[in-house]
Amino acid sequence: MSIRNFAVGFFHLKNVGNLSDVPSPAAAENLRIGDRVGIFTIRSVCDKEVLLEIIDTHLDVVLSVYRDDGSFPKLKVITMVFNHNVLGQLYMLPVAPLHKVIVRAMLSNHD
């Protein structure tokens, strides 16, 4: 993320911070809409789902983290990307293949 934040500065895009900038599990119950979690801002919170977002001039990213309490509890992560212009499309070319790596890195930091 440090490389990303440095590189996008030349295009006047948002420095989104670091994946590791996550509050401790003990602080999770005090998080509110508008607070930061890693590179995202909390958009909404429900019993089983949290929506996180990054809003910028070239694209918006919305991340859903859904807790499935079925017979095999698990987290489901869905990402939606809304490109606003050609810069957003170009930005996603290298990011899209790395997406699984990024999500796995975020989830591995949850404990």
Delimit the domains of the chain by residue range. Answer: 2-108
pLDDT at 62: 95
Residue 79: phi, psi to the nearest 5?
-120, 135
The pLDDT of residue 24 is above 70: no
Q: Please tell me the predicted confidence (pLDDT) of residue 75.
A: 84
What's the rounded Cα separation, in Å, for the pair 19 and 38?
4
Residues near 103 by Cβ (< 8 Å), separated by ≥ 6?
77, 79
Q: What is the mean pLDDT of residues 15-25?
A: 63
Q: In the predicted model, is pLDDT for residue 53 greater than 90?
A: yes
Q: What is the pTM of this model?
A: 0.72
pLDDT tens digit string along 57-107? 889 999 998 988 888 888 888 889 999 999 889 888 888 888 778 777 766
Say if strands 59-68 and 74-83 run parallel, antiparallel, or are unpaired. antiparallel
Mean pLDDT taken over the chain? 80
